[in-house]
Structure 1
Amino acid sequence: MTAESRRIRLDDRGLEVEALPGETLLEALEREGLRMRRSCRNGVCEICEISLLQGQLQQRYPQRLLDGDPCKPSLALACTSVPLTDISVKIKGLKLPGEVAVKKLNCDIASVEVLNRDVYRVRLHLPATASQAMTFHAGQYLDICLPNGRKASFSIASAPDQGRDVELHIRLMPDSEMSRAVLDYLQQNERVDIEAPKGGCWLDARSVTPGSRLVFAAASTGFSQIKSMVEHLLANQVMNPIRIYWGARNAQDLYHLALPEQWAREHANVHFVPVVSEPELCPDWIGRFGTLPQAILEDLDHFEDTHIYASGSPAMVYALLDACEAHGMQESQLHSDVFAYAPRPAKQ
């Protein structure tokens, strides 16, 4: 930080941003990848309003000098305000890098089709209007909202690069009244409410480090989350090594096997390994047997510059984490939504 620059403390976020000499508050925020509501930069629209809690700002238009007061904050326009001192501000609706807004949307149910004996592919058509547009990252999920208020979460199987349709893979589980209720509703109605996007385990092709190796581990319908990530990488021509492991008890549960096989044929950097854990269920299977952790450790002799994205049950994800940590991987190298919704006690 230079002597002429100023600190901008985002009071409700616990973060600090540096404003360069002469730089407006809005310019400083956007340079750091943060986003706020704005329309123009001449102070007329008054959308980019912030609350000044401490410090001093010079607002260029409308021209005035503003002093912060925690008890009675001053309102200023970020697009025309330059910090004169270190400041503390509060900004409603501020988004951190990569953060997107969760919306409740009413979508057309474009199709519901059977992929295998118990997995259905559902396509939803998102609203076209700008106010209802949805932005999501590869790997995030959505909630299906039923009229009785119940919700069910499903990974978005399509990549964000693929337009207004989103794809879901929904397994009909005999012992789950909720899965039946969701599929019944989707098959019998023309529209459905969703809340999206959700989930902190996602991937942005622009953040992939050159030379790093990406490993994807999916169990059962966890393949849907992995599908979104891989298709996003391929759409953006990411050439890093991509290894995909898809595990199931029975080979019949690998319900979309032809797709990852096609990725591997068409892209030299993609390697696909299907794994079946119960040989007695599929005597005709000629592929790998075992568990996902076993298959990955058989193939990888090191974890340097490797990131693993895992989608499946908490038991699978934590078994994979423990197995890889025992062979030198750091916990931070494995990414999964399981860590958020099913955390386990910290190791002693």
Structure 2
Amino acid sequence: MTIKCKVKSIKPLACNTYQILLHPESPVSFIAGQYLMVVMGESDKRPFSIASSPCRHEGELELHIGAAEHNAYAIEVVELMTKAHESGESINIDAPHGNAYIQEQSERPLLLIAGGTGFSYVRSILDHCVSINKSSPIYLYWGAKSSDQLYAKDEIEQIANDNGNVHFIPVVEETENGWAGKVGNVLQAINTDFESLAEYDIYIAGRFEMAGAAREQFTQNKEAKSDHMYADAYAFI
């Protein structure tokens, strides 16, 4: 379904990472964990996870877009959004999409895994689970190259402090002065921390290689059930 949106705001979250708020001309019904497509042209639609949750988005749609210098695919979208914001023109989106959304009726514990701006996907799921008072244990692992890319670290730590069932484990690849958390690869951290993932619903957002590696490692080594692993990447790999 194609919907016109006004670009309400654009602001930096971290180096080359932007928060974009869209105001659709008509309400968009979606499930936490789904994504939208930014329409660049008739045959050019680009997917981005919806970072807001359906229960608390107040009619706005939030995106987190990582647009590093080598990533023209994302840079062009940010440029389109910036131009529309400055001119007051509308952009078009196609939404909702994706089958890797929250399994709301499940009572299994949740493992949410994000690489980089894949965080936007798990943020929507986490926020929705908190808003409906989901009592299952929730573990959120967020991997980034450095701590300054963990742009919502304070927000998630506060959610974990306020909700005893939520556990936040940030993982950085580069050792830094003053960093007291985990260092290394986010999947390695999970492999170390869990004896078994047999009872978990697992939600993953990151590069396709990361999602593929997670499925292989967790099903082979940690008893994870592939039909309880959710990622948009699995529709393509």
CA shift at 1:185, angstroms? 1.4
Residue from 317, 321, 325 that aligns with 2:211: 317
Contact 2:199 2:224 in 1 (8 A): no
1:295 to 2:189 alignment: yes
2:171 corresponds to which residue? Answer: 275
1:194 corresponds to which residue? Answer: 93
State the alpha-carbon separation in 1 of the partners of residues 128 and 2 from structure 2. Answer: 24
Identity of aligned residues (%): 30
1:203 to 2:102 alignment: yes
Superposed, 1:20-35 pairs within 5 Å as: none
User: Residue type matched to 1:125 in 2?
Assistant: H
CA shift at 1:148, angstroms? 6.9
State the alpha-carbon separation in 1 of the partners of residues 232 and 92 from structure 2. Answer: 23
1:115 to 2:13 alignment: yes
Contact 1:138 1:204 in 2 (8 A): no
TM-score, normalising length from structure 2?
A: 0.92
SS of alignment partner, residue 146 of structure 1: strand
SS of alignment partner, residue 246 of structure 1: strand
> 1:16-63 CA distances to partner (integer Å, 9 max, x unpaired)?
xxxxxxxxxxxxxxxxxxxxxxxxxxxxxxxxxxxxxxxxxxxxxxxx
Contact 2:6 2:24 in 1 (8 A): yes
Moved more, 320-329 or 307-316: 320-329
1:334 to 2:233 alignment: no
Residue from 43, 50, 70 that aligns with 1:175: 70
SS of alignment partner, residue 164 of structure 1: coil
State the alpha-carbon separation in 1 of the partners of residues 207 and 73 from structure 2. Answer: 18
Residue from 166, 176, 184 that aligns with 2:61: 166
User: Residue type matched to 1:139 in 2?
Assistant: G
Larger relative contact order (Cα-Cα within 8 Å, sequence gap ≥ 6): 2
> 1:297-318 CA distances to partner (integer Å, 9 max, x unpaired)?
2222222321110111121112
State the alpha-carbon separation in 2 of the partners of residues 274 and 213 from structure 1. Answer: 19
Gaps of 5+ in 1: 1-102, 344-348
1:251 to 2:147 alignment: yes
SS of alignment partner, residue 140 of structure 2: strand
State the alpha-carbon separation in 1 of the partners of residues 16 and 203 from structure 2. Answer: 25
Superposed, 1:134-145 pairs within 5 Å as: 134-145=28-39
> 1:200-238 CA distances to partner (integer Å, 9 max, x unpaired)?
100143x122xx210101000000000000111111110
Return structure 1 stretches of 4+ with deviation > 3 angstroms. none
CA shift at 1:328, angstroms? 1.9
> 1:235-290 CA distances to partner (integer Å, 9 max, x unpaired)?
111011000000012222212211211111110100000001232xx344221012
1:221 corresponds to which residue? Answer: 117
> Highest CA radius of gyration, 1 or 2?
1
TM-score, normalising length from structure 1?
A: 0.64
How many matched pairs? 231
SS of alignment partner, residue 75 of structure 2: helix
Contact 2:142 2:169 in 1 (8 A): yes
1:265 to 2:164 alignment: no
State the alpha-carbon separation in 1 of the partners of residues 223 and 131 from structure 2. Answer: 32
CA shift at 1:147, angstroms? 5.0
State the alpha-carbon separation in 1 of the partners of residues 228 and 18 from structure 2. Answer: 32
